[in-house]
Amino acid sequence: MLKRLGGQMEIIYMDREGKLTQRRIRILAVSDEDVKAFCYTQRGPRVFRLERILAAAVIPKVQRHNVQKPPTAV
Residue 49 lies in a domain: yes
Count of domains observed in the chain? 1
Residue 63 forms part of a structural domain: no
pLDDT of residue 18: 94
Q: Is 43 left (phi over 0), alpha (psi -120 to 50) or beta?
A: left
Q: Is 17 among the domain residues?
A: yes
Report the pLDDT value the prediction gives residue 59, as an integer from 0 to 100.
Answer: 85
Q: Is residue 26 part of a domain?
A: yes
Summarize pLDDT for 3-25 with one digit per residue, the tens: 566 778 999 999 999 999 999 99
CATH code of residue 46: 2.30.30
Confidence of residue 47 (pLDDT cuts 50, 70, 90): very high
Is 70 part of a structural domain of the chain? Answer: no
Residues of the domain holding 41: 7-58
Distance of CA 1 to the CA centre of its chain: 12
CA nearest neighbour of 22 among 32, 9, 35 = 9
Q: Is residue 69 part of a domain?
A: no
29 assigned to some structural domain: yes
